[in-house]
Structure 1
Amino acid sequence: MKNILIGVTGGIAAYKSANIISKLKKRGYNVKVIMTENATKIITPLALETLSRNRVYVDMWDKTPHFEVEHISLAEWADLVLIAPATYNIVGKVANGIADDMLSTVISATVKPVYFALAMNVNMYNNPILKENIEKLKKYGYKFIEADEGFLACNVNAKGRLKDEEEIVEIIENDLNTNNNTLLKGKKILITAGRTEEPIDPVRYLSNRSSGQMGYSLAKAAVKMGGQVTLISGPTNLEIPEGLKEFVQVRSAQEMYEAAIKVFSSVDIAVACAAVADYKPKTYSTEKIKKKDEDLTIVLDRNPDILFEMGKLKKNQYLIGFAAETQNIIENALGKLKKKNLDMIVANNAHNMQKKTNEILIIKDKNNIKELPEESKEKLAYSILNEINLK
């Protein structure tokens, strides 16, 4: 697992570093912490030692005997350095080559990615000197997590609040997952996402509860891993991911079928993540159906099975399907894997629809089943794509 070095400075938001450390540890990362002297006046080193399960570093001249130069060993140990909170002072120090304590010295000695999660008074945040220092550091490859607007310690509601801890963790986790990952570089990838809607009349339709979050997370991850991604999406409330080769908006299963089959022959990888309606109304009423005293009967026709058709057309493509089940999850997924000529299937409990997290099974055959515990869908997307074994 990756090593993350957290730098905690003397901003009032220093207490939030405890939550960041806790979240990273729960995700399995190795975490070490450096605190400035001022940070120890806001939150104790003991608290962060307990959460990180590692010694917390504060003093460059600690008399505890060691057999290595600590600021160098820590700089080399880390896969990523996160400064949270990053104050006006620490940004200014690094921008001007000042290394007068343990944290600023380690930052100056590392060649690994360094993130500054900004947090400070709004006037300091808007100070042109800070802006110049940030621009200077960006030119040297340092990265910044912008502050949010919110209620600040100085009793004003303005920009300068440390970004939500969960968002910070997601940002650096994406960096760790994509750094030097070229598995999909240059590969053409088709991803279907979201739900489909089957119209009954101009007002009503048949659909399901899929939010599209898993499919969109896969598209974002595939782009960051170097893929040329075509995303075909049914209706969602999500923002279109950046960096796509093509985005195709559809509504019905028939529209998604036509769009997917059109590009399938030209791709290297296809991921059918959309929750496609199996049935559609046999007839469509051009006028709104009026309520009557008797029952209403709607006759349904089968929709085309997009994944099955892609399995029939498959030549050298790597084909991934999804199975959202409520019972006999592994048995049903294995049946779908074989019937639809898939290389891999991702199975999960259908009750996780619309949640931001999921727990999944990645299945390649009955003897190759990997269980992944509950995690954010963005992180699971990388785990799924890293399982692709291209010939």
Structure 2
Amino acid sequence: MDYRVNEIDQVIQNAISVMEDSKIQVFEICESARKELQTLGQELEVVLKETTDTIDKVDHLERDYRLARIRLTEVSRDFVRFSEIDIKSAYEKATQLQLDLMVYREKENYLKARRDDLQKRVKNVSLSIERAETIGSQMNVVLQYLSGDLNQVTRILESAKNRQLIGLKIILAQEDERKRIAREIHDGPAQSLANLVLRTELAERMLETKDMEVIRSELIDLKGQIRSGLGEIRKIIFNLRPMALDDLGLVPTLRKFVQDFEENTRIRSKFETSGKERRLSSAMEAAMFRMVQEAYSNALKHAQPTYVKVEITFLENEVHLFIEDNGIGFHTDLVESRVRTHSHFGLIGMRERVDLLQGNLEIESVAGQGTKIRIQVPTNRDMKGDEG
């Protein structure tokens, strides 16, 4: 066993080294992207100002050119009042204004194209920074686990009695990471988007005196897109960690989830509970909720149901979940083979969670006759370590 522990330790140390190097590279990429974003932002600010000035200049030149053409028409018709010098002067002025107008129109088109390109690049770089930060956070979580006490992990692995405790700790860590990401999105991008809405409203008011309807229309559209993105971020925050799960527990959260599912999908849904309802450990409640969530997601994506039902039963030492739909069903043998070859990720996630909890998962389905999922999870385990 010591020899195997040493081998495992060496593998983990190598993995840690690779992860540390990769984390540094991700950090450098992120920093480089932030510098690029700052440069692009400064350049975009200059281009926006120059675009506004050029549009104003084009407006002035168009007005002056119209007046110059009117003047040229007047002096050309009245040879008595105006001399040849007057006619020549009016013609030269109109010609020069026409040339200037052509030049500035070309400049306006170039600046608009440049502005659109810079805005697109700013958006892409911002997305890259967000992805890099997410990857960095995930790598930190992995490093924390890889850097733990290997001997302690080995002793725990040797004890079948504590197997469920390991699973619960892993699930709890996943849920903690989800809560952290939810906080970061709320405090970061969500606040930034809200601020951008205020800035666009301010820009609208500033443009009111310049009669620039096209730019105002673009700003209004931008404000709508930002508000839409803000709604999506808030939706992501809820999906990452429903607050009701911590505050109210599993049953109220599932009931609300089923109600929302029915409202959003127009698929008739039903939630039932039996037995003496009680609170479970935070990790176990999170795992049970995720399994129901995954089952409903699978039904929506693949089963085409008109009815979905979930029932939770509390027994003395177990909790049972029963999820049923009247969808198109499938051949269980075919899906089981896909699970074994890792090509059916929804069922893989459910089976892994059940295995970590030392539970049992049964799937019953026939093509054209819907699907039934039965999950049994023991609760007579020592749960004290899962909150730490």
Q: Give the TM-score, by structure 2 length.
A: 0.25
Larger RCO (alpha carbons 8 Å, 6+ apart): 2
Higher strand share: 1
Higher helix share: 2
